[in-house]
Amino acid sequence: MTYCGRKGCENPAIDRRSGNFGYICPACVRELHEKLVREPFSSIADFMTSPKMKSRLYDSVQEIIDIEFPVDLDN
């Protein structure tokens, strides 16, 4: 069994492996994806050494937008 190389993450990693950072689990891939959408110039090295978020992960970018800007049905 291979484990995610991100600090504080103990999830099993399956198939994604970086030459620089080692393996990463699917949950961290999703979190990294969201981070890069929000902050395109943020560093992957910083992400891998930042503790895993405790809060829930969003299913999609659309969900993040829907939460921040819900459709106003009164209008």
Asked if 6 touches Zn ion (CB under 5 A), the answer is: yes
Closest CA to 13 of 23, 43, 21, 22: 23
**Interface residues for Zn ion in 17-46 (CB under 5 A)?**
25, 28
Assess 4 for contact with Zn ion (CB under 5 A).
Answer: yes
**Interface residue with Zn ion, options 1, 7, 9, 71 (CB under 5 A):** 9
| Per-residue CA distances from 14 to 3, 5, 28, 57 (Å) | 8, 12, 12, 19
Under rule CB under 5 A, residue 11 binds Zn ion: yes
Instruction: Please give the residue ranges that form the binding site for Zn ion (CB under 5 A).
Output: 4, 6, 9, 11, 25, 28
